[in-house]
Structure 1
Amino acid sequence: MSPLAALARAYDRLAEAGEVPAQGYSQQKIAYLIPLLADGQPAGPPVDLREQEGRKTRPRLIAVPQPTKRTSGIAPNFLWDKTAYVLGVTAGEGKRTAKEHAAFIARHEEWLAGTQDEGLTALLRFLAWWRPERFAELGWPEEMVDQNLVFALESERLDGVHLHDRPAARALWTDLSSGAEGGEAVCLVTGEPGAVARLHPAIKGVWGGQSSGGSIVSFNLDAFTSYGHEQGANAPVSEAAAFAYTAALNHFLETGSTHRIQIGDASTVFWAEGPEAGEAEDVFSSFMGVDEKAEARKVGDILARIREGRPLGEVLGDLQGVRFYVLGLAPNASRLSVRFYLEDDFGVIAARYLRHLQRMRIEPPPKDEAPSMWRMLIETATLRKSENIQPNLAGEWMRAILSDTPYPLTLLASLIMRLRADGDVNALRVAILKSVLIRNFGKTFKGEVPVALDTEFQETGYLLGRLFAVYEHIQTAALGRNLNATIKDKFYGSASAQPRKVFRHLDAGAAPHLSKIGKQRPGQRIALEKQLGGIMDLMEPGGDPFPAHLPDRQQGLFALGYYHQRNDFFRKHTSSETGHEAGEDTQ
């Protein structure tokens, strides 16, 4: 099923539950209401509809007639709009304000001609009486300028009935919005014949997108069209289906929605079908969500039960069989790009994600054994700033995890680059590297990529990483831990990429350090020399143990070997001091 068809189906369920507006309406941010008397005079000052959110106020979301999709033209909305259209007042230069206000009056005189409805007649009388200068004369609030407004009869205002809610207004809007501008055709979403939507409603809430919204389907240049068709006729979608999929998507993208997460530049929405849909959505949210202790505990409990050998079906219970959808969107000027789309059984999706976490198992583990996608992505970024995350990486990685396909090689390259640049070989970075190595290259290695230190694992990169950690330990054992810079600070990047240039120098530098250790602690020198010899014995017998270059996958193993060996030293050091084993304080 296409993402648009899945969203249209989701709309039907949401509409039954009263969570989305009816056909032809949409949730819009409305800040003020103008109360009217039957004669069209204001019943009092505008009513502030904004809601308090902390120290700030925000407009209230109200279902109003679907807004006109504006590009550069002037097009008023039905019975509501911003102050430039409704009142002829704006805070800017207002070069078009007079024309916008005149258009609002003219179109409503046309739309409401002949109406006998008390509320609609009151609006016509108000528009005939109103002049923009009355705004200042009446002392209406400056905060109202450029906000969206609605109208209501004062007699109905306290009951929450706006002009656009009156039966006559709803009937009129149904007639006005049912015109088939794009002709008739078979809808590509539903497969049913219907009136083709010339323009699809705007989709708002995508991070980094235009405030006016964006489109998944649009044709605004001749190069995009075919066979002389215009706009939506190039990919016919019925007006009903266009409204349904955009209404559902806008609902999922709303601020505070429990159906959205931000993964890099991809605004990701997810939803489910079935009796246990809510529980499936909660579990997925805990998989993907922000770093919260409750969510981490939930995922940790699931992982613990799986590691105990309990079947996934038993762990997930009734969630297997729930149909699940994940859609990632990113802005592209006025359009929206689909970064990824996945539709599958929730049990299958959950199993794939849990396999990803299993691949990331490492000893000692990161503080958060089930980190959020954002927390993992930030490890790939320069200075750990979210704006430095590679644009396509988030979507490609998420798609790979949820579809159980090879991870993007840009992930491996980005992590290797960060390690060489800052030398921060922390647990989370190494865990991510390990997951990439297993998923993409696992079958090419001489054995299984280890979770903890494996003295028998003979991959060149892993052995060199272990060797580098031994040289570093020799240095600190001889000179103390309070050095301004260790060999890791100076040589990690070059040692992991071009071992031949560095390791012979490190070996020569280790000799005087071993001599110093031998004078003070002969037993430790013997142990360190045995470790060096044991690692060297596993390297290419009879050949050069130090290759000129290491490819990225071997550099990843270098980081893993270094991490394992270094933490083994730390564990033994802590054990000797405290009398029990302890792991390194990792990130």
Structure 2
Amino acid sequence: MLLAALNDYARRRGLLDEVLWATRPVYFLLRITHEGRFVALVPTAKHGAGMPMRIPRPPQRASNVAAGFLVDNPKYVLGLAEGSESQEKKAGARVSAFHSLAAMATEATRSPVARAVAAFTADASARAQALAARPSGTWTGTELLAFVVEGSDVPAHEEPALREWWENRGEADAAEGDAGQCLVSGDVTVLARLHERIRGVPGTLAMGGRLVSTNNDAFESHGLEQGANAPVGKQAALGYVLALNHLLEPTPKRNYRHGIRLAEDTVLVLWTDGPAEEAEQLLTLMDPTSPELKRMPTDGVQAPEVRRGARLFAVTLSGNMGRVAIRDMLEVSLTTAVSNVRRFLDDLRIHSAPARPMPVWRLLNALEDRAEVGVPPDLATRMVRAILTGSAFPQALLVAALKVMTVERRGDDADGLHVTTRAQLIHACLLRSGGTAAAALCVPPTKDGPVALVLGRLLAVLEQLDGGEGFRERHFARFSHSPANAFPTLLRRAIMQERRHPRLARLMGELVAALPGSGFPKALGTEDRGLVAVGYARQRCAL
């Protein structure tokens, strides 16, 4: 389902129209003479990023040697080796493979440009000069280099005759390989041996990571190698990669075109079966950027109009060096998803103000602990699934939000916002739980409401009477766990401030009077502690 949906996306966006070309950052232009002598190494990078350039699509590599056509990294173009004897031997094979492609193009087209590149790669001294153009140790081995031959500023791979040769060769290569039934399309076609890397998934290498790969002996126990273990046609294998790379590309507005960062190594990607605007509108509703938040009206959430029958697809990906793992995937009606997001925003309301958009990034930021470590990727993934599907939130999310209620970010103007955000998430968790706490939150707040809510309000008043920094950090956990042990001491301290703050003292008395005759509870369970947090945040906002 996932790979088929991504291939549909790639076809609708025209990403498969030119499969033999790709846009990659090129870091250096290698200027040479027609005889293949080295002239200069010209950097193209600005602010650490290479210049995006349309180049012949790089080959798939695992441990194999496979060269790009006229554009590649210094290991293939210049023979850069990493020091060991085995790497020295492999360096020769890499340069030879790169040289062979240039020589083949020269023979077929008689192009002087291809001849110059072939002459350069055959000349060890010219390659050494190019390597020495940068200080020793500064080559990483991943920088892409393109050639420019004297008398022209056009990169060698852009010469029309060489472009035509590359495209003809690509069509022939596409027809080579083992045939079989593609698991994605169902067609009998030429199968992909290796799948391309997906770029942009956090936690992966700079060159990206593979979603589908087999590189252990255990995977060959049935006599199958590489892609034969999960047969996918060449076009389908390329289509899903192009789709994910497109969805994960940064834009001027967002870090990901259609993605939401959930953790250090995890991203949620979503798209629809229609125009791109549909996914963009859902992202604006679900995870608006700071500029979008400022432009939104203050009188409630404006939900977008939804095309009838529209489908939403979502997949959560995590990176682990050279691999990409799927944490979750979802297909749901777009109408249902929009309705569920609106319901979630309504569930966040802890007072009578209209519902407002709550970015996922703000929720996750508020859940960071004192060391600024957020919730685990799996929990963030389950939280977002609950938002999109309208299901109950995991109990672990409620526990995580309660745990960080004690975190105070002193000197941070956003500390109050974080407290409110945590309480809002706790409010939503409790409403979805369906227990007594959910019932308590569905009635208008009063002074004689549920005991836990009254205790939370009382804690906010005591904080104001105390007036010192770190009150919540020192007292919230003990107060919400064991009110009978914590409250008497706090009340005695607060009585000393009655004359200075008569209004707060009067409110404190009213709240204490609203407690049952049995006094403060000895202990509170998780849901009641959640009610304490909600009552605390409500009263904090009121004060």
TM-score range (shorter-chain normalised) is 0.7 to 0.9
The alignment status of 1:454 with 2:446, answered yes or no, reads yes
Q: Residue in 2 aligned with 1:3?
A: 2
Q: Which residue of 2 aligns with 1:496?
A: 480
| Aligned position for 1:124 | 118
Alignment match of 1:179 (pick from 158, 176, 179): 176
* Pairing 1:466-477 to 2, within 5 Å after superposition: 466-469=457-460, 476=465
Q: Is the 8 A contact 2:350 2:534 kept in 1?
A: no
Length-normalised TM-score, structure 1: 0.77
Q: Contact 1:289/1:295 (CA < 8 Å) preserved in 2?
A: no
Provide the rounded CA distance (Å) in 2 between the counterparts of 1:415 and 1:432: 7
The answer on 1:553 being equivalent to 2:527 is yes
Superposed, 1:164-313 pairs within 5 Å as: 166-180=163-177, 183-224=178-219, 227-256=222-251, 257-265=256-264, 266-274=266-274, 277-289=275-287, 291-298=289-296, 303-304=300-301
Asked whether the 8 Å contact 1:83–1:149 carries over to 2, the reply is yes
* 1:355 aligned partner: 343
Query: Deviations along 1:204-256, whole A, 9 cap, x unmatched?
Result: 21112122321111222244566332222221111110011112212222343
Shift of 1:417: 1.0
Give the SS at the match of 1:353: helix
1:83 maps to 2:69? no
- Residue in 2 that maps onto 1:317: 305
> Contact 2:182–2:233 at 8 Å: present in 1 too?
yes
Counterparts of 1:384 and 1:363, CA distance in 2: 30
TM-score, normalised by the number of residues in structure 2: 0.83
State whether residues 344 and 428 of structure 2, in contact with CA within 8 Å, keep that contact through their aligned partners in structure 1: yes
Letter in 1 for 2:453: Y
Task: Say if 1:451 and 1:175 are closer, same or farther in 2 by CA, change over 3 A.
Answer: farther
Q: 2:361 aligns with which of 347, 351, 374?
A: 374
* Matches for 1:497-512 after TM superposition, within 5 Å: 497-506=481-490, 509=492
Unaligned runs of 5+ in 1: 306-314, 538-543, 571-587
1:319-468 to 2 correspondences below 5 Å? 319-363=307-351, 369-383=356-370, 385=372, 387-420=373-406, 422=408, 426-439=419-432, 441-445=433-437, 447-449=439-441, 453-458=445-450, 460-468=451-459
Matched-pair contact (CA < 8 Å) for 2:286–2:360: yes
Cα distance in 2 between the residues matched to 1:229 and 1:140? 45
Shift in Å, 1:364: 7.7
Whether the 8 Å CA contact 2:430–2:437 is kept in 1: the answer is: no
What is the CA–CA distance in structure 2 between the aligned matches of 1:136 and 1:461, rounded to whole Å? 75
The one of 11, 21, 32 aligned to 1:25: 21
Change (3 A) 1:298 1:228: farther
Cα distance, 1:446–1:215 mapped onto 2, change above 3 Å: closer
From the superposition, tell whether residues 138 and 327 of structure 1 become closer, same or farther in structure 2 (CA, over 3 Å). Answer: closer
Please state how far the C-alpha of 1:434 moved relative to its aligned partner: 0.5
CA distance in 2, matches of 1:520, 1:207: 53
In structure 2, what residue type is equivalent to 1:561?
Answer: G
Q: What is the DSSP-based 3-state SS (H/G/I as helix, E as strand, rest coil) of the residue aligned with 2:54?
A: strand
Tell me, which stretches of 5 or more residues in structure 2 are unaligned?
410-414
Q: Which has the greater radius of gyration?
A: 1
What is the CA RMSD across the aligned residues, in angstroms? 3.7
Counterpart residue identity of residue 404, structure 1:
G
Is the contact made by 1:286 and 1:298 (CA closer than 8 Å) also made in structure 2? no
AA of the residue aligned to 1:463 = V
Percent identity between matched residues is: 26
Relative to structure 1, is the Cα distance of residues 47 and 321 closer, same or farther in structure 2, using a 3 angstrom cutoff? Answer: farther
Taking a change above 3 Å as real, the CA distance of residues 289 and 139 of structure 1, as seen in their structure-2 partners, is same
Superposed CA deviations along residues 436-477 of structure 1, whole A, max 9, x for unmatched, are 1111x234347351597433532x42233234445556xx2x
Are the structure 2 counterparts of residues 75 and 322 from structure 1 closer, same or farther at C-alpha, using a change threshold of 3 Å? same
Give the counterpart of 1:136 among 124, 129, 135: 129
Superposed counterparts of 1:37-48, under 5 Å: 39-41=34-36, 45-48=40-43
Instruction: Write the distance in 1 (CA, Å) between the matches of 2:11 and 2:80.
Output: 39
Q: In structure 2, the residue corresponding to 1:204 is in which secondary structure?
A: coil
Aligned with 1:212: secondary structure?
coil
Query: Residue 264 of structure 1 contacts residue 374 of structure 1 at CA under 8 Å; is this kept in 2?
Result: no
Deviation, 1:556, is 0.7
Structure 1 residues 258 and 383 mapped into 2: Cα distance closer, same or farther (>3 Å)? same
